[in-house]
Amino acid sequence: VHDKMPQELPAGDVLVHCGDLTKTGRVDELQSAVAWMERQVTSGRVRAAVFIAGNHDTTLDTAYYEETGAQRFHRSSPEHPGAAAAAVRAGKGCYYLEHSSLRLGGLHFYGFTSQPAFCNWAFNVTRDGLVPLWKAVPGDVDVLLSHGPPQLHGDGCLPWRPNPTDREHPVT
């Protein structure tokens, strides 16, 4: 949503956000996004919020930010990746996933943060580098959060992701 959270949100069980909370990963933008999600939880609109970073959430990809992102996006006032990491873990009932799992309400969520390399943004991985990450996704996942588009739907890179049924434990 690039720092543009909606005013109204329909009630539901779990709010799922698949990245690009911010324009360029500023810590105040992350804090604002997490505060918005926390308000959805504390108001009772949803029971929990589960989210991942996207390529615009540059400070959450520490290696990228230190090598490229700070100079590219925040040259005059660099952010601190540690403060960004703390911001996304601060919300009550809000769960940040980065190649990690969460079991909540009988469901197994997994946050797959990496995406096919795109215009030198955060969380970019070569297509070959994505294969072992994809294979590491647990086989019993119910909800897979991914910032990259689904295969054959605007991804522009047909071979990057193996068929889920090719996994040792297929995602169904």
Global pTM reads 0.87
Alpha-helical runs (H) found in the chain: 27-42, 62-64, 70-73, 81-88, 127-135
For the chain, how are helix, strand and coil distributed in percent, rounded to 5?
Answer: 30, 20, 50
Residue 158: the pLDDT is: 44
* pLDDT tens-digit profile, the chain (172 residues): 666 777 778 899 999 999 999 999 999 999 999 999 999 999 999 999 999 999 999 999 999 999 999 999 999 999 999 999 999 999 999 999 999 999 999 999 999 999 988 899 999 998 889 889 988 999 999 999 998 776 666 555 444 444 555 555 554 4
**How far is the C-alpha of 148 from the C-alpha of 146, rounded, in Å?**
5
Query: Residue 55: its pLDDT value, please?
Result: 95
